[in-house]
């Protein structure tokens, strides 16, 4: 299982939201890049970034900072947040990003998803952010009519190979991941499922590995010293699992 340490960017700062609430923001750094070298030295092979401004507005806000993270990290970078068209996807790949995560666009414009998969194949992931089992959009502020698992199956039918599944109700709460939801998702689709939301300790990493997910995203637990990233990487298997192609 691959561990993805997360940098969520709001106003150029590294933050975490509590349950996706933009009014409940904790700032961890005014310089998000400062974390990257430390994580790489611990053995991380991927960095997960989210442009929260972009997710909310649909416009690229922090692409310059994401470009800098991709340039200095020496790791693989996956990023999402407000990516709504092919041109921006191309720009992010040119900036050095290895995987682009599409969320709201997947709900609103499935034809674009099909085109993106045709052009970039495994470089595209779908972010499914769920509230109460339904897909949330627009920076988690709106709820669609799609049930998360049904929507995931629809995306896989289009050729998607990676899904990032966030349980919004646990995200940023350090309350433990929604293991039953993650296990259900991993067992329902024939693709890589990356779990996000609620990780607080090494036991959560072990429990997630048993659900069948191929990766886990964690942020707040690392920032607050509740999760030792180097030990998390060991428990996860040192990023050595084989993902589905």
Which of residues 9 and 238 earns the better pLDDT score?
9
The model's pLDDT over 77-112, given as tens digits with 9 standing for 90+, comes to: 999 998 999 999 999 999 999 999 999 899 999 999
Neighbours of 100 (CB within 10 A): 22
The model's pLDDT over 126-166, given as tens digits with 9 standing for 90+, comes to: 999 898 888 988 766 677 889 999 999 999 999 999 999 99
Question: CATH no. for residue 108?
Answer: 3.20.20.70
Asked if residue 62 is part of any domain, the answer here is: yes
Task: Retrieve residue 240's tokens.
Answer: 């050595």
Q: How many domains would you assign to the chain?
A: 1
Residue 39 has pLDDT above 70, yes or no: yes
Asked if residue 245 is part of any domain, the answer here is: no
Catalytic residues, by residue number, are 8, 129
Query: What confidence score (pLDDT) does residue 220 get?
Result: 92
How far is CA 151 from its chain centroid? 17
Asked if residue 242 is part of any domain, the answer here is: no
Query: Which stretches does DSSP call E strand in the chain?
Result: 2-10, 13-18, 21-29, 46-51, 76-80, 99-102, 124-131, 134-137, 142-147, 162-167, 192-196, 215-218
Closest CA to 185 of 206, 217, 211, 159: 211
Query: What confidence score (pLDDT) does residue 72 get?
Result: 81
Place of tokens 């942020």: 219
Please list the residues that pair with 147 across neighbouring strands. Answer: 134
Which of residues 93 and 172 earns the better pLDDT score?
93
* Domain extent at residue 23: 2-236
Cα-trace Rg, the chain: 16
Distant-in-sequence, close-in-space partners of 76: CB < 8 Å, separation ≥ 6: 45, 46, 47, 98, 99
Asked if residue 164 is part of any domain, the answer here is: yes
Asked if residue 243 is part of any domain, the answer here is: no
Asked if residue 129 is part of any domain, the answer here is: yes
Distant-in-sequence, close-in-space partners of 83: CB < 8 Å, separation ≥ 6: 54, 60, 89, 92, 100, 101, 102, 103, 105
- To the question of pTM greater than 0.85 for the whole model, the response is yes
Residue 5 has pLDDT above 60, yes or no: yes
Asked if residue 179 is part of any domain, the answer here is: yes
Separation between Cα atoms, residue 236 and residue 211, nearest integer Å = 12
């Amino acid at each position: 299982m691959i561990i993805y340490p997360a940098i969520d960017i709001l106003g150029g700062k590294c933050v975490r939201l509590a349950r996706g609430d933009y009014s409940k923001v904790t700032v961890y750094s005014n310089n998000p890049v400062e974390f990257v070298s430390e994580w790489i030295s611990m053995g991380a092979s991927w960095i997960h970034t989210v442009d929260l401004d972009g997710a909310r507005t649909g416009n690229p806000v922090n692409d310059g900072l994401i470009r800098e993270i991709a340039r200095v990290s020496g790791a693989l970078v996956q990023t999402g947040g407000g990516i709504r068209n092919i041109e921006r996807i191309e720009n992010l790949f040119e900036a050095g990003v290895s995987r682009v995560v599409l969320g709201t666009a997947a709900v609103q414009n499935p034809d674009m998803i099909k085109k993106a998969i045709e052009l970039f194949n495994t470089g595209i992931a779908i972010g499914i952010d769920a509230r109460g089992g339904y897909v949330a959009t627009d920076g988690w502020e709106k709820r669609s009519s799609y049930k998360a698992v049904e929507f995931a199956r629809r995306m896989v039918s289009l050729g998607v190979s990676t899904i990032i599944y966030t349980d919004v109700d646990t995200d940023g709460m350090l309350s433990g991941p929604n293991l039953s939801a993650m296990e259900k998702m991993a067992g329902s689709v024939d693709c890589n499922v990356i779990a996000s939301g609620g990780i607080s300790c090494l036991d959560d990493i072990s429990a997630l590995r048993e659900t069948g997910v191929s990766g886990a995203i964690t942020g707040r637990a690392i920032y607050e010293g509740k999760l030792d990233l180097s030990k998390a990487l060991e428990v996860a298997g040192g990023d050595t699992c084989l993902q589905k192609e």
